[in-house]
Structure 1
């Protein structure tokens, strides 16, 4: 950072500031530390500058400045990515978090949203019209990163991945050009940004298709951890014939009182709630559970249900992969590994993928994780930096134990930044070659490389 600041004079920074509508934040700025903080408290990087953009012109200015001065660039939307790609050391952070405009058109059931919007903000705006689209499972997640990586969530069985419902996008390329990407304009770029992450440019607006979503049946049931094997076998059987309207996750967690728990969370988004009640009755009867928090609720309540389990600033390390199936052997391995969990904040999820998200052809978008029925995700969380090594080691050990049951695929948004190029390739499989071609066309010098990088 010192080298860069010596290289660029005060006048250079002042000249840049004059061209911006938004803020230029330097290391001696009062709000520097607050501006570089992201969701994962383990990420402590110190950029040479942060540009908090207010419009597309600011983004273009930032890109052109960074290119001219050969600065490493990180792009921040919601800042929720666990790997911390939103922040870099000794480079420029192009911060989009103040770009929060949302325009809903209830007649066409579409919405245009800027990249600083969080899912809670997005859902609030669309739910005013009784509309929604697949949008993760935590309301503080940004729409940009989730969409560009694919986008899984409670509505994916009925309405597919988030990126499946992207109609168009505006983005700024590495050479500072503003382009539109859709099925008609730059279709190769449009294909690539639906799952290919931030490799191809900075998206400055997203246009989505929306769907009628009113009151849903949601919530969770909790069981003692001793029931984990029995519960996962029930979960496997219960999900095998689930209708598209019903998405269910199994998980482990520790209660606020310190009790290890196993649970199932669900969302039924069908129009006939009575039919939904019948469908989920076996899940509520199983056990029976220690706690049953399932019932009709607003979709906004469902979306915020897990927020308190993943607060901003926690230290976090993730490992994930899709499963070929949830076999008895996989369940037994899970059962044997989970008692040694090193942090009470840690959660392990098995997400059921089915219906619309798995009915799209794997090569129709860059996002191709559409064949496996389950996704296995370890979200390790803790409070103290001196505990990093123990929790990271436990996470890796659990992941290694589950490897015999993995498919070849991994969801790119769950990759950590220490996993290497082979894991990035495994996220895209046969789509990787085409992604490299699009990268070569739109970013041949790999300007956008603070991401799960696709090398041109």
Structure 2
């Protein structure tokens, strides 16, 4: 890429900002262009580090008027690398991280650059929480607008189900506030429709009383019978029990015997947000799944459960993802978990199964853009490696694994579990909501400025 001196337009943009602009050749450019997934090594023409909605408006106007690609970055966790681009503009919201909690109304308003660590910290001070991700450095924006799975989903619904209002900068540079009564169609689209409709500068969430929880991982041998017992357990469990199934290699943790480090196993990551008096009952449910190889299950503040994968999955690793939805966990899917789990390529790689019953299924398929309300589980397949070459070498593993799951899966999948080569599945991801989303895309972004995403073309 040829580095050009600042143009008059670039200088005009700088003059319109309170934040700063980083260009090729500037100190810190290489750091500014980095994203979580190191597979996305791109060189934008400008990185704008916005500090307020005015900066966002100026940047959107600049990219639109110049005809430049525009990538919007919150926490930068987009597996497909949509938080960056070559030769375009990256709008980095990472400095916009203000949060205000209203404990009486049980709501929180958070700026678009916040991570789940930020939001969990702010709300926990008041004994409140809402559904978020499972890695604390994940941005609230991408997770929420994609749907938003997490430990509290069975009890509280998806993150998008708890989104009650948003401020949005649309493609024409307008600042739009949407609620259930005002611009409700745009709010509907933001609840699962991804980054197709604008830049969300603030999110308002409904909160729930959640303080300490019983949480942590329990590890078992990689055995289909363990997974089938998990299937039966979660199907009849109290909705306050969050329990993610994980298939992978044993991590080097002190409570897991060393002989299991690096060996195939499965685990359940528990988040029980019910009363302490029932903790032993939850421990008994887990003990009934099979031989326990290791366990770290204790009372902890809710925000801690969202940090358990942080050390294992820092920024800078190389990721490639696939995803599926399923109704139940058919035996064929269980067999695939066992077969392909046995050849998991690294300790950082994992197959994670999220239960989606309970409160998630009490929302209608047309009430939000997130349409899959009749599935019971979402599966994320992720080879995660230390080098690009190793990750490229494992793409066949995950593609074969994905192909083995497809006969037991719904047509579409969760957009946040899809890599950049899954654009052909976008219509299937939204089922009967797709045509309405196209209509709203034509209204709010007819020129498809916001196309660096799992794109809904106008």
> What is the distance in 2 between the residues matched to 1:343 and 1:293?
22
Q: Render the CA deviation track for 1:307-354: whole Å, top value 9, x for unaligned.
A: 122211100011111112212222123222222233332101122111
Q: 1:63 aligns with which of 50, 60, 63?
A: 60
TM-score normalised by structure 1 residue count: 0.96
Query: Which is worse superposed, 319-328 or 272-281?
Result: 272-281
Correspondence list, 1:134-145, <5 A:
134-145=131-142
**Deviation of 1:224 (Å):** 2.9
- Once the two structures are overlaid, the 10-residue window that deviates more, 428-437 or 237-246, is 237-246
Q: Distance in 2 between matches of 1:317 and 1:70?
A: 30
Which ranges of structure 1 fall in alignment gaps of 5 or more residues?
A: none
What is residue 358 of structure 2 aligned with on the other side?
355
CA contact (8 A) 1:284 1:292 kept: no
Name the structure 2 match of 1:400.
Answer: 403
CA–CA distance in structure 2, aligned partners of residues 394 and 210 of structure 1 = 40
Q: Which residue of 1 aligns with 2:231?
A: 236
1:215 corresponds in structure 2 to: 212
Helix, strand or coil at the partner of 1:418? helix
Question: Shift in Å at residue 390 of structure 1?
Answer: 1.4
- After superposition, where does 1:79-118 map in structure 2 within 5 Å? 79-118=76-115
Query: SS state of the match for residue 75, structure 2?
Result: coil
CA distance in 1 between partners of 2:9 and 2:441 (Å): 31
Aligned to 1:443: 445
**Residues in 2 aligned to 1:286 and 1:179: alpha-carbon distance in whole angstroms:** 50
Alpha-carbon distance between aligned partners in 1 of 2:335 and 2:142, rounded to the nearest angstrom:
34
Q: Is 1:377 paired with 2:380?
A: yes
Alignment of structure 1 residues 192-211 onto 2, 5 Å:
192-211=189-208
Among residues 262, 266, 272, which one is paired with 2:270 in the alignment? 266
User: What value does the CA root-mean-square deviation take over the aligned residues?
Assistant: 1.4
Instruction: Work out whether 1:129 is the aligned partner of 2:131.
Output: no
Question: 1:282 Cα deviation (Å)?
Answer: 2.3
Q: Do 2:218 and 2:267's aligned partners in 1 also have CA atoms closer than 8 Å? A: yes
Where does the alignment leave 5 or more consecutive residues of structure 2 unmatched? 253-260
Helix, strand or coil for the counterpart of 2:12?
helix
Aligned partners of 1:166, 1:425: CA distance in 2, in Å? 23
Higher mean alpha-carbon deviation, 273-282 vs 311-320, is at: 273-282
Deviates more, 1:66-75 or 1:277-286: 277-286
Q: Which residue of 1 aligns with 2:32?
A: 35
Structure 2 CA distance, aligned partners of 1:283 and 1:413? 29
Instruction: Tell me how far apart the structure 2 counterparts of residues 452 and 61 of structure 1 sit (CA, whole Å).
Output: 24
Moved more, 9-18 or 172-181: 9-18
Following TM superposition, by how much is the alpha carbon of 1:111 offset from its aligned partner in structure 2, in angstroms? 0.8
Q: Please report how far the alpha carbon of residue 388 of structure 1 lies from its aligned counterpart in structure 2 after TM superposition.
A: 2.9
Q: Deviations over 1:221-250 (max 9, x none)?
A: 11233xx21210111111120121112111
Q: Which residue of 1 aligns with 2:346?
A: 343
SS at match of 1:125: helix
Shift of 1:67: 1.1
When the two structures are aligned, how many residues end up with a matched partner?
A: 449
- Structure 1, 291-300 or 144-153: larger mean CA deviation: 291-300
Using the TM superposition, give the Cα deviation of residue 396 of structure 1 relative to its aligned residue in structure 2, in angstroms: 0.6
CA distance in 2, matches of 1:109, 1:389: 45
Aligned to 2:335: 332
Alpha-carbon offset, residue 173 of structure 1 = 0.6
Q: Does 1:26 align with 2:23?
A: yes
State the alpha-carbon separation in 2 of the partners of residues 141 and 306 from structure 1: 11
Give the alignment's TM-score, normalised by structure 2.
0.95
